A and B are shown apart, each in its own frame.
Chain A
Amino acid sequence: MTAIENSPLPLDPEEARRVRQERFERIGRWVLPLAIMILAIWLWDRICVWNEIPQYILPRPGVVLQTLHNDAGLLFSSLLVTLRITFLSLALAVIGGVGLSVLFAQSKWVEMSFFPFAIVLQVTPIVAIFPLINIYVNNQTTKLLLCAWIVAFFPILSNTTLGLNSVDRNLRDLFKLNGATRWQQLRYLRLPAAMPYFLGGLKIAGGLSLIGAVVAEFVAGTTGQSSGLASRIIEAGYRLNAPRLFAALFLISLTGILIFLVLSLISHLILRRWHESALKQER
């Protein structure tokens, strides 16, 4: 089969067009966004120059890069603080989300009773909850963690619960026929079946835990208690240090993108052999 595909067959115009289009799409997927990005940065630079915009309002991209280099020590130590909260809260979101959904999966009654609480927690803006957390919790790290966790755990909980409940009916019968225990059904059927759903939730939660961490720092930062990237941004804002503000913003975005890419890769590696979402288009 592959031998035929690899041999230089004379292609008819339609097939040749298809091959050409596929090649363009492969290249375009990378080149186009990159080109637009470069164009946008160039335009940003030109706008600064043409309009003689002062640096404390809109710094040129080069200046931002320079600041990133000059303030590297300060910014990266702050980034580490933010990253620590992000990953800790993501880990807790995974443990809490999966744990709760497994608990929910044990009984429809438990799910019916407690799921609404999860929704309430999810729909209430975290910024509005934070002052309460500020009163009740003393430890700074705990405060931030709790905040980021509340934001991040819901997609994992909701997705995993959906996954655990969407097992093929016949497979469930098969397990029953073979006298599977509740634990065996969970271990060998429901958890693996929920894996694609969980990974989908994890991808969302990864971004949310970063957002949660930054928002928490923001709220905490106004009282000068935090040393994460958000507090650098607030600080830079007060001092009209726009270049540093942009540099910090850049780091946060970059972190978010990296988290997403890493989680996507993990998801792909786990699902690539069996799940539709990870399969290449086959013809």
Chain B
Amino acid sequence: MIGEKVAQAPASDVAPTLLALRGVGKVFSNGVTALSNVDLTIREGDFLSLLGPSGCGKSTALRLIAGLSTPTSGVLDWRGGGSLDRANIGFVFQEPTLLPWASVFDNVWLPLRLKGISRAKAAPAIKQMLARVHLTGFEDAVPRELSGGMKMRVSIARAMVTKPRVLLMDEPFAALDEITRFKLNNDLLELWQDERFTVVFVTHSVFESVFLSNRVVVMAARPGRVFDELAIEAAYPRDEAFRTSPDYAALCRRASDVLISAINLTAGPHHDGH
């Protein structure tokens, strides 16, 4: 019955395309095919999760989108064509990846500083961003004085301070405890709904992907490829009530089934769990 919902036109269908990956493949010099023939359309305002087992190339896909790596085959077609402006991309790594010697304020300043914006001039934007991630009052703390969740908040603030059109996130909450992860999920959704940027979110958690996204793209490994896509129809805002709703459970089950099929596709007799 949930499957029927897919037939209805999801809201994102009407949104213009932001980026289209066409036949994108990536082969590393050691012969490993990280990605093979990936077709994927990312629309303006999507919260799109790339869900899959380890080695399915979801992080590689993210690095390709970020421009940190170039595809072996295929093209990344940004809306309006041509090369992308990197100012339009924010990236959040799996680790907070902060400058350990710099204060929270200076860490968030970094992207602006690299664009030649002075500390004083950047201050309003930084203060505003820190307030958005609930870190007001921690401007002068250095990363080691913060908890894992707070460090991740700084990392998100740093990625968002340039007001990017696309936020790329590479398993950002994987290392956090569940309570912290739920909180950050909620805050991220709130931010996304207010600012309406596009998110590409890499995760191996079915529950997280279903909770956050309007689209879940399930990937399979060896070679990394797109296996299937699910539209998550549940309305936003999604809150703690949604997390315990039967709808959510049903959606998770469906996503989980697809993920299991994707894993089984990969798992041969020599499956070693990597």
Indicate whether A192 sits within 8 Å of B99 (C-beta atoms), given known contacts A176-B68, A177-B68, A274-B142: yes
Shortest CB-to-CB span from B85 to chain A, Å, is 9
* Assembly CA distance A175 to B158 (angstroms): 12
Shortest CB-to-CB span from B47 to chain A, Å, is 21
B111–A178 touching, CB < 8 Å:
yes
Is residue A73 contacting chain B, with contact meaning CB distance below 8 A?
no
Is residue A273 contacting chain B, with contact meaning CB distance below 8 A?
yes
Shortest CB-to-CB span from A199 to chain B, Å, is 12
* Assembly CA distance A66 to B142 (angstroms): 52
| Range, interface on chain B | 20 to 34
Is residue A168 contacting chain B, with contact meaning CB distance below 8 A?
yes
Residues of A within 8 A of B91 (CB): 173-174, 177
* Assembly CA distance A273 to B146 (angstroms): 13
- Interface digits, A158-192 against B, CB 8 Å rule (1 contact, 0 not)? 00000000001011011111111000100011001
A179–B144 touching, CB < 8 Å:
no
Is residue B89 contacting chain A, with contact meaning CB distance below 8 A?
yes
B143–A177 touching, CB < 8 Å:
no
Is residue B118 contacting chain A, with contact meaning CB distance below 8 A?
no
Indicate whether A177 sits within 8 Å of B97 (C-beta atoms), given known contacts A188-B110, A273-B142: no
* Assembly CA distance A274 to B67 (angstroms): 31
Specify the chain B residue showing the minimal Cβ separation from A181. B114
A173–B113 touching, CB < 8 Å:
no
Most buried by A among B89, B102, B110: B110
- Interface digits, B58-102 against A, CB 8 Å rule (1 contact, 0 not)? 000000001110000000000000000011010101010101111
Is residue A279 contacting chain B, with contact meaning CB distance below 8 A?
yes
Indicate whether A177 sits within 8 Å of B86 (C-beta atoms), given known contacts A274-B142, A274-B144: yes
Q: Spell out A's residues near B (CB within 8 Å).
A: 168, 170-171, 173-180, 184, 188-189, 192, 195, 273-275, 279
Q: Spell out B's residues near A (CB within 8 Å).
A: 66-68, 86-87, 89, 91, 93, 95, 97, 99-102, 110-111, 113-115, 142-144, 162
Q: What 9 A-B pairs are tightest by C-beta distance, nearest first? A: A170-B97, A178-B114, A170-B93, A274-B101, A274-B100, A178-B111, A180-B114, A192-B101, A274-B142
Q: What are some 13 contacts across the A-B interface (CB < 8 A)?
A: A175-B114, A177-B68, A178-B86, A178-B110, A179-B86, A179-B114, A180-B114, A189-B99, A192-B99, A192-B101, A195-B101, A274-B142, A279-B144
